[in-house]
Amino acid sequence: MTAPSTATHSPKLRPNDPCWCGSGRKYKRCHKVATDRVQPSALSPRRPVPDGIERPHYADRGGSSRRDEPPVKDADTIARMRRTGAAAAEILREAGDAVAPGVTTDDIDALVHEACLARGGYPSPLGYGHPAFPKSVCTSVNEVICHGIPDARPLRDGDIVNLDVTLFREGVHGDTNATFLVGTVDPESRRLVRTTRECLERGIDAVRPGRPLSDIGRAIETHAQSARLAVVRAFIGHGIGREFHTDVEVLHYYDPRASRVMEPGMTFTIEPMIAMGAWQHRVWEDGWTAVTIDGRRSAQFEHTVLVTDAGAEVLTVHPDGRWSGYPGD
């Protein structure tokens, strides 16, 4: 049975009015969510990469990561990851600066693609996985949790969009993302984005050698729950280095079974995805785009980190030391 069309039931309703369906909820939390959901749009052709750019092994023949890379990196690998991570942060900042109403996510993909090439690097998402990801950056709008494919949909005033940038250069990957506000955004969405960034900060603060990875998930989940928000469970942080993803798994919620001990020299991502409503997800037919099952918004922030003798070093910090994303500092 199909719900009545909002075209006939709610043209004059304001977001805070009671929903026409009689649920007792505000319209903005009920049927307005369904009508505002992101829909797939047209894709442009895959963007070319010049022959002189070093490619990861999956770039031309498809596939994903080999997961047998040592979790603890040597000094040379770490130095290359610092340089690549800083360059990825620069690209993320440039992409975030381009976010505005009317800009398409494909426009942002073009910018990120060229920014990677200009730095002598390869956009890590391009050609990764099964099916092969067709674009150079993930752009996840509103209820899209992660892995959104850039397309012809223009960003709209009031949207939020996560930009997930990963750069392959000097034989290593640098992975980072942030959620950006599009124009004038409602207070609840601003709070979601701010809290998600705080969740990442709490997770980084929990990194300590000799402690289990579950400490990270505990810190993130505790902060999200204190704000009455939910941690998405299906997508997690991961080891990273020469491979895009290695077998280090970083849960963003507490699970005592995540008992692997952090060691100095380990590198991995922390990338909490926090939802306004249900934490469960579904995936579009494209095999990539993950959305919340209730259509409510989610946000994400990510850094690549190195475990040190004293805690964590962020490898994807911008050279000026400032974060990308809300609150715009």
**pLDDT score recorded for residue 329:** 42
Q: How far apart are CA 160 and CA 325, in angstroms?
A: 10
pLDDT single digits (tens) 174-213: 999 999 999 999 999 999 999 999 999 999 999 999 999 9
Nearest to 232 by CA among 183, 302, 133: 302
pLDDT of residue 185: 95
Structure confidence at residue 20 (pLDDT): 54
Q: What is the pTM of this model?
A: 0.89
In contact, 149 and 288? CB cutoff 8 Å? yes
Instruction: Judge whether residue 113 has pLDDT over 70.
Output: yes
pLDDT for 204-243, tens place per residue?
999 999 999 999 999 999 999 999 999 999 999 999 999 9
Q: Of 20-24, 92-96, 275-279, which gets the smallest average pLDDT?
A: 20-24
| pLDDT of 10 over the 60 cut | no
Per-residue confidence (pLDDT) for residue 4, from 0 to 100: 25
Q: How confident is the model at residue 35 (pLDDT cuts 50, 70, 90)?
A: low
138-160 pLDDT, tens digit each? 999 999 999 999 999 999 999 99
Residue 203 CA to residue 192 CA, distance in Å, equals 16
Q: What percent of the chain has pLDDT over 70?
A: 90
- Mean pLDDT is lowest, of 84-98, 148-162, 200-214, 315-329, for 315-329
pLDDT of res. 23: 63
User: CA 160, 82, 65, 204 torsion: positive or negative?
Assistant: negative
CA separation (Å) from 158 to 36, 141, 183, 188?
A: 11, 11, 6, 11
Topology (CATH) of 73-314: Creatine Amidinohydrolase (3.90.230)
Here the contacts of 94-101 (C-beta below 8 Å, separation 24 or greater) are: 95/137, 95/163, 95/165, 96/163, 96/178, 96/180, 96/324, 96/325, 99/155, 99/161, 99/163, 99/180, 99/181, 99/182, 100/155, 100/182, 100/183, 101/154, 101/155, 101/156, 101/157, 101/159, 101/182, 101/183
Taking Cα atoms as reference points, which of 168, 266, 159 lies closest to residue 210?
266
Q: Which two tokens stand for residue 169?
A: 């250069």
Domain ranges of the chain: 73-314
Q: With contact defined as beta carbons under 8 Å apart, do 275 and 258 qualify? A: no
Q: What is the arithmetic mean of pLDDT over 2-9?
A: 27
More confident residue, 328 or 202: 202
